[in-house]
Amino acid sequence: MKKKLRSIISASILSLIPLSSSALELQEQLTPELIKTLGIDPNKITLIDFFASWCVSCRIELPQISALIPQLDNNQFEVIGINVDEELSEGQEYIDSFAQKGGLNFRVVMDPEQQMIEIFEPLGMPALYYIQNGKIEIMHLGAMPNIDDVIVSDISKLGYQQ
């Protein structure tokens, strides 16, 4: 009887534990659902940038990335920003704050439920993922100085033709 009770209690407790999914690593393929949701073009090199309003490094990097995009070919390279602020209004305010500096020249996906970032599970923010043919080719986690130069060198490695 005691054993049965124990097994019932342990089973009920185990059911409460959420199943943890493993983080996406280099050379891993994105799921078709994720590609569809984010609208990733398989013919382009796509840069996914996770950012948030409270991230100081993101505030430095975002204008640099935004200024770089007009200089690059849109048919070969695309940037998708994912805002992970828990409050939608907070995220929107943050994006609008860049208007004085020319705004953000790339598509931004709002992720207040943090569903997208929980799939990628980056170890730090800002998190940059280069996707080519649905596969993660390069990733940068954490603050990086001169991110625009870093992006240019990265995409040239992935076959971007200038």
Partner 1 sequence: MIRIAIMSSVLSLTACGHYQYLEQDSQSSQANNRYSQSNVVFTSDNSKIKKTDKKDTTIKAKEALKSTSLTQTTPELKTTALVKTNPIETNNKESFWTQLVEVFTPEKVKPWQKSKLAKATMKPGGLTPGSEKFNQKIYASKESSRGGLGVAGGGCGCN
> What are the residues binding partner 1 (CB under 8 A)?
6, 9-10, 13-14, 16-17, 50, 52-58, 84-86, 114, 117, 121-126, 141-143
Residues linked to residue 107 through DSSP beta bridges, in sequence order: 80
CB of 162 to partner 1, least distance (A): 30
Closer to partner 1 by Cβ: residue 69 or 143: 143
> Cα dihedral angle (43, 47, 50, 52), rounded to 10 degrees?
-120
Do residues 26 and 123 make contact, with C-beta atoms less than 8 angstroms apart? no
Side chain identity, residue 158? L
CB of 79 to partner 1, least distance (A): 19
Closer to partner 1 by Cβ: residue 55 or 131: 55
Closer to partner 1 by Cβ: residue 99 or 123: 123
Side chain identity, residue 23? A
User: Is the preceding peptide bond at 112 cis, omega within 30 degrees of 0?
Assistant: no
